[in-house]
């Protein structure tokens, strides 16, 4: 109970009335007081009040079954004793409890039965509860009217608790009718009243609901922060499992679908245990949305259909409409495209829009429109695209929803054969996504924010291919790829809790290495990894676009006599735009799957060779890798082979799985300067960063523990090149980060691990534990050139639109011009020689890409790649 709370009156009835009106301030103490009276008192009125207190306390503690039990016993006792007003007040409480359980009809029945016997002071409370019931029944406009009427009648002194509840209900009604500014205002005022009344748990619930408002507005970082602040302020998610569902939906939107599904399953279990089956429908619907994001259309369709049945049983038409829309979205993506399916999905989208679910309605209309177009139903397709396109001009919609509207406009222009309008629509959609990403300091959130960029880009690239202009194709492939890397945080994250979690995570990983049975320690590591990921998403800040000239004239000037090969896929086929001697050409390279298969085979065979093979099997692996490399080269490089045979450097912008291809394995690339960059803009920006670097900067040599060659390697490099040396106990994460910030050349020889499941937890091992990509994101400016003498850390996870996430990419995002790293395991005994030759060439003035090419050719190695800029092309 808060300080300054009035002491309960001494007489038993007065004391009971006081406890009844102040239960929410101290539910545990109220519960104990009610049990005391029920066990000792024989006074009928006191026992009725004790039952009422117990019911209210159980509600506050999230135990609605116990609450219903005590309220019904109290009601029966009040009726036996002829206490009509007490019985009516208990019915009012029962109406609230049934509302919490999702039993809307039973709640209405209790409210109607209670109203005739209630005192005038309780009538406004009836109006408040009536408004909340309208809200629960998806009649949000009626709820807004009823709750506004109730708020005019409630007394600020006597009914502060009910005023706060009314504001909470009206805020939620405003949320579900997309009146987001009004929702935020009401919820913030309700939170203030709850705090003033000492009801911190209710106030925390308001803070959580404000997070829901932010989520609906598309402000994902703020939503996640408010959800976390609500828990810190006292929101008990075990007592309020629906809060877990809301947070899980935000995690799913952030791309953390695995964690989201786990949280939703926990929420479903808690809801069932606590008797709150009425809330299970929302959980099932959230699971459906999560499965849909994961591409698991069968699970999504089943979960959404189940949720729809539950919502219909609860007479909640708005939520049933949303569930139907998600179910049809899943079914259409799963291949259902009959006339019946398209008609039913169209009606589901209309119902969804009618109840205010503008985003899901537009998304379903785009999906139905595309299916209808493929089925030859042009008129239906056009109508649906027009309806979805209206969202682009809705100032109240979230940026991603407006981008979806622009996509619909582009698809409509495509049907009209109007490429100019199509390109303008795609530019509009990409502008919306870029403006949304401006406030996302967390890299993971930026990657997810640009998920629609792939569809917009694919639509524009398709139109450019139909026109056949290579320069136009090149511009649009560039506009749609690696979008998260095209923004850079204005300042590195400075979050003490994130830093603390990273330190604890390092210590926990070190602990697992010392234990014989690390099972328990591994669970601690997993928990800390989750903490790190979540804290990283809460980082606040702004980002700026990479202001790099990237017109055709600037590109040609920067290339000089180097060869550019820009790879991209469309409709399952692989294409390339080449730039050789200022000539821009478009090439069709055949099936994308063929190239991806050969690239995967090369990586697999090189990895097997690195791990060691039986002498008899070695020729077979070498032959297989050579054949796969020759076939892949014939597909990818044939348009530019004549230029490469003249000894020219190659700058390649890969696509899909080719981002992790060891290019030196291709015969034409062996001994040749090859740079692979996520995008042309990243390559051009690398040139700017490289030229801005201090040429007199001292190199930094870092050796990690547990590798026989690492200490020898960095000491030899330091002896040859001078600079700073960090080995042994000096090579800690804190010291390394402070030393490499803004450095010229940094070389790290250490164990490396790439994480497919969580790429920003990819790491290199240091004296005090792993140095993660999350750590590197704290650099003010990345080193100009970084050499990672560690296995596999050059790899990235590739998401739609060729968005990359990983350790090397994090460095590029912080201003590093060039990263040299491996994309396959490399034998330790060969690494030292490669690295010595590489740095010798760098000291002699060679560009990083050229230095790597000569070093790998000298030692028969192919596993390292040059990422980013690669240095000034040889001219």
Domain assignment of residue 612, yes or no = yes
How many angstroms separate the Cα of 167 from the Cα of each of 24, 104, 152, 229, 796?
17, 20, 11, 20, 48
- Three state DSSP letters for 583-614: EEEEEEEEEHHHHHHHHHHHHHHHHHHHHCCC
Q: End of a domain among 538, 568, 588? A: 538
Q: What is the pTM of this model?
A: 0.83
Question: What DSSP element (H or E) covers 626?
Answer: helix 618-636
- The answer to whether residues 857 and 774 belong to one domain is yes
Q: Are 774 and 809 in contact (CB under 8 A)?
A: no
Residue 521 and residue 569 in one domain: no
DSSP 8-state secondary structure symbol assigned to residue 759? G
CA–CA distances in Å: residue 340 to residues 552, 626, 676: 49, 53, 48
Q: How far apart are CA 635 and CA 657, in angstroms?
A: 15
State whether 612 and 523 are in the same domain: no
Domain assignment present for residue 61? The answer is: yes
Tell me whether strands 785-789 and 818-822 are parallel, antiparallel or unpaired.
Answer: parallel
Q: Give 1-24 as a DSSP string.
A: --TTPPPPPSSHHHHHHHHHHTGG
Which of 136, 197, 190 is CA-nearest to residue 163? Answer: 190
Contact 70, 51 (CB under 8 A): yes
pLDDT of 293? 86
Contact 814, 777 (CB under 8 A): yes
Q: Is residue 263 part of a domain?
A: no
- Asked if the structure places residue 244 within a domain, the reply is no
353, 436: one domain:
yes
If asked whether residues 333 and 209 sit together in one domain, one would say no
In a shared domain, residues 411 and 534: no
Is residue 7 included in any domain, yes or no?
no
Instruction: Say if residues 385 and 365 touch (Cβ distance below 8 Å).
Output: yes
Q: Are 22 and 12 in contact (CB under 8 A)?
A: no
Q: How many CB atoms lie within 10 A of CB 28?
A: 11
Q: Does residue 4 lie within any of the structural domains? A: no
- 801: helix, coil or strand? coil
For the chain of 875 residues, list the mean pLDDT of each consecutive stretch of 10: 48 84 81 87 86 88 85 91 90 85 82 86 82 84 90 74 88 91 95 88 93 90 92 86 88 82 86 75 90 90 93 89 96 92 95 91 96 93 96 89 96 96 96 88 84 92 96 93 80 81 93 81 89 87 74 89 95 96 96 94 86 71 88 96 94 95 95 95 90 82 89 92 94 95 94 91 94 92 93 88 91 93 84 93 94 95 94 49
CB of 739 closer than 8 Å to CB of 507: no
Q: Tell which of 449, 479, 509 closes a domain.
A: 479
The encoded tokens of residue 240 equal 């309020």
8 A C-beta contact, residue 576 and residue 566: yes
Pair 591, 718 in one domain = yes
> Residues near 863 by Cβ (< 8 Å), separated by ≥ 6?
606, 610, 662, 664, 822, 823, 824, 825, 826
Q: Is residue 6 part of a domain?
A: no
Sheet holding 763-766, edge to edge: 752-753, 763-766, 769-772
Residue 144 lies in a domain: yes
Please provide the distance, in angstroms rounded to a whole number, between the alpha carbons at the two ends of the chain: 77
What is d(CA 332, CA 205) in angstroms, rounded to the nearest whole number?
37
pLDDT value of position 8: 58
d(CA 464, CA 442): 33
Same domain assignment for residues 72 and 218: yes
Token pair of 381, please?
């397709």
Beta bridge partners of 584: 579
How many of the other CB atoms lie within 10 Å of CB of 440? Answer: 27
Q: Report the CATH number that the domain containing residue 330 is assigned in CATH.
A: 1.25.40.10
Q: What is the CATH number of the domain that holds 648?
A: 3.40.50.1460
Rounded Cα distance between 567 and 636, Å, is 8
DSSP secondary structure, 338-374, as one string: -HHHHHHHHHHHHHHHHTT-HHHHHHHHHHHHHHHHH
* Residues 19 and 44 grouped into a single domain: yes
Between CA 443 and CA 775 the distance in angstroms is: 12
The residues near 371 (Cβ < 8 Å, ≥ 6 apart) are 332, 337, 342
Query: Which tokens sit at 125?
Result: 């409370």
Length of the chain: 875
* Phi and psi, residue 452, nearest 5°: -80, -15
- Residue 313: what pLDDT? 87
Residues 510 and 464 in one domain: no
Q: Beta-carbon neighbour count of residue 531 at 10 Å?
A: 17
Number of domains in the chain: 4
CA 551 to chain centre: 32
Q: What angle do CA 566, 568, 570 make, to 5 degrees?
A: 150
Cα 262 to Cα 101, 259, 519, 600, distances in angstroms? 23, 5, 20, 32
Q: How far is residue 318 CA from its own chain's centroid?
A: 26
pLDDT for res 873:
40
CA 51 to chain centre: 46
Residue that finishes a domain, picked among 538, 566, 589: 538
Q: What angle do CA 655, 672, 869 make, to 5 degrees?
A: 55
Q: Are residues 408 and 556 in the same domain?
A: no
Do residues 402 and 394 make contact, with C-beta atoms less than 8 angstroms apart? yes
**pLDDT at residue 258, as a whole number:** 80
Q: Do the bridges between strand 700-703 and strand 724-726 make them parallel or antiparallel, or are there none, so unpaired? A: parallel
Q: Are 608 and 751 members of one domain?
A: yes
pLDDT at 343: 94
Under DSSP, the state recorded for 854 is H
What domain range includes position 521?
Answer: 496-538
Q: Alpha-carbon distance 364 to 100, whole Å?
A: 31
Secondary structure of residue 43 in the 3-state scheme: coil
């Amino acid at each position: 109970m808060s300080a300054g709370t009035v002491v309960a009156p001494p007489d038993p009835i007065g004391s009971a009335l006081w406890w009844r009106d102040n239960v929410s301030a101290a539910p545990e103490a109220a519960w104990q007081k009610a049990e005391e009276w029920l066990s000792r008192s024989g006074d009928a009125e006191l026992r009725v009040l004790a039952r009422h207190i117990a019911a209210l306390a159980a509600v506050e503690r999230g135990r609605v079954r116990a609450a219903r039990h005590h309220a019904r016993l109290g009601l029966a006792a009040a009726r036996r004793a002829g206490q009509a007003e007490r019985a009516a007040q208990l019915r009012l409480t029962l109406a609230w409890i049934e509302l919490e359980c999702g039993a809307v009809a039973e709640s209405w029945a209790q409210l109607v039965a209670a109203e005739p016997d209630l005192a005038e002071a309780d009538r406004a409370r009836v109006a408040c509860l009536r408004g909340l019931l309208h809200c629960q029944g998806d009649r949000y406009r009626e709820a807004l009217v009823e709750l506004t009427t109730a708020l005019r009648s409630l007394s600020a002194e006597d009914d502060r608790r009910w005023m706060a509840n009314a504001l909470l209900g009206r805020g939620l009604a405003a949320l579900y009718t997309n009146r987001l500014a009004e929702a935020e205002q009401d919820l913030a005022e309700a939170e203030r009243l709850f705090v003033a009344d000492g009801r911190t748990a209710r106030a925390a619930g308001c803070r959580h609901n404000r997070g829901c408002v932010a989520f609906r507005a598309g402000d994902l970082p703020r939503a996640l922060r408010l959800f976390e602040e609500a828990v810190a302020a006292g929101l008990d998610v075990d007592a309020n499992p629906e809060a877990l569902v809301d947070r899980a939906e935000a995690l799913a939107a952030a791309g953390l679908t695995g964690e989201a599904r786990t949280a939703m399953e926990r929420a479903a279990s808690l809801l069932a245990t606590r008797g709150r089956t009425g809330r299970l429908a929302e959980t099932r619907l959230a699971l459906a949305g999560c499965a849909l994001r994961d591409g698991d259309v069968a699970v999504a369709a089943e979960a959404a259909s189940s949720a729809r049945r539950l919502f219909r049983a609860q007479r909640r038409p708005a939520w049933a409409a949303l569930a139907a829309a998600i179910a049809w979205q899943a079914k259409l993506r799963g291949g259902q495209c009959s006339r019946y399916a398209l008609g039913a999905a169209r009606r589901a989208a209309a119902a969804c829009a009618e109840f205010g679910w503008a985003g899901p309605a537009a998304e379903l209309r785009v999906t139905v429109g595309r299916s209808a177009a493929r089925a030859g139903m042009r008129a239906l397709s056009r109508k649906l695209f027009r309806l979805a396109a209206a969202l682009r001009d809705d100032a109240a919609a979230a940026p991603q929803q407006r981008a979806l509207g622009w996509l619909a406009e582009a698809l409509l222009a495509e049907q009209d054969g109007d490429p100019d309008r199509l390109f303008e629509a795609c530019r509009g959609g990409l502008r919306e996504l870029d403006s949304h990403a401006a406030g996302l300091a967390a890299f993971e959130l930026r990657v997810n924010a640009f998920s629609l960029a792939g569809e917009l880009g694919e639509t524009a690239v398709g139109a450019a291919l139909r026109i056949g202009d290579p320069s136009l194709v090149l511009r649009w492939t560039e506009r749609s790829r690696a979008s998260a890397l095209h923004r850079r945080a204005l300042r590195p994250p400075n979050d003490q809790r994130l830093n603390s979690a990273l330190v604890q995570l390092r210590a926990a990983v070190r602990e697992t290495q010392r234990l014989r049975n690390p099972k328990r320690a591994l669970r601690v590591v997993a928990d800390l990894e989750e903490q790190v990921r979540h804290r990283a998403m809460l980082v606040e800040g702004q980002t700026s676009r990479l202001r790099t000239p990237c017109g055709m004239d600037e590109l040609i000037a920067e290339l000089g006599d180097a060869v550019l090969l820009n790879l991209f896929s469309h409709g399952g086929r692989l294409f390339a735009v080449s730039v050789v001697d200022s000539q821009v050409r478009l090439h069709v390279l055949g099936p994308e799957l063929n190239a991806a298969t050969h690239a995967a085979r090369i990586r697999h065979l090189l990895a097997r060779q690195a791990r060691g093979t039986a002498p008899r099997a070695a020729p077979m692996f070498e032959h297989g890798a050579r054949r796969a490399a020759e076939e892949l080269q014939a597909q990818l490089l044939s348009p530019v082979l004549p230029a490469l045979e003249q000894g020219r450097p190659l700058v390649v912008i890969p696509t899909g799985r080719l981002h992790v291809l060891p290019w030196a394995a291709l015969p034409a690339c062996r001994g040749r300067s090859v740079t692979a960059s996520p995008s042309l803009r990243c390559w051009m920006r690398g040139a700017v960063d490289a030229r801005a670097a201090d040429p007199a900067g001292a190199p930094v040599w870092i050796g990690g523990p547990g590798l026989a060659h690492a200490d020898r390697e960095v000491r030899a490099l330091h002896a040859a090149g001078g600079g700073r040396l960090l080995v042994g106990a000096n090579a800690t994460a804190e010291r390394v980060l402070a030393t490499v910030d803004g450095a010229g050349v940094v070389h790290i020889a250490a164990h490396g691990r790439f994480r497919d499941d969580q790429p920003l937890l990819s790491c290199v091992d240091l004296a005090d534990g792993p140095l993660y990509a999350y750590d590197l994101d704290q650099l003010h400016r990345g080193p100009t050139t970084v050499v990672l003498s560690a296995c596999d850390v050059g790899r990235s996870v590739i998401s739609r639109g060729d968005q990359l996430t990983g350790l090397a990419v994090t460095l590029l995002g912080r201003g590093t011009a060039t990263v040299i790293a491996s994309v396959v395991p490399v034998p330790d005994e060969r690494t030292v020689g490669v690295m010595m030759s590489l740095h010798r060439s760098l000291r002699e003035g060679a560009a990083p890409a050229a230095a790597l090419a000569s070093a790998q050719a000298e030692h028969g190695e192919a596993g390292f790649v040059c990422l980013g800029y690669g240095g000034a092309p040889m001219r």
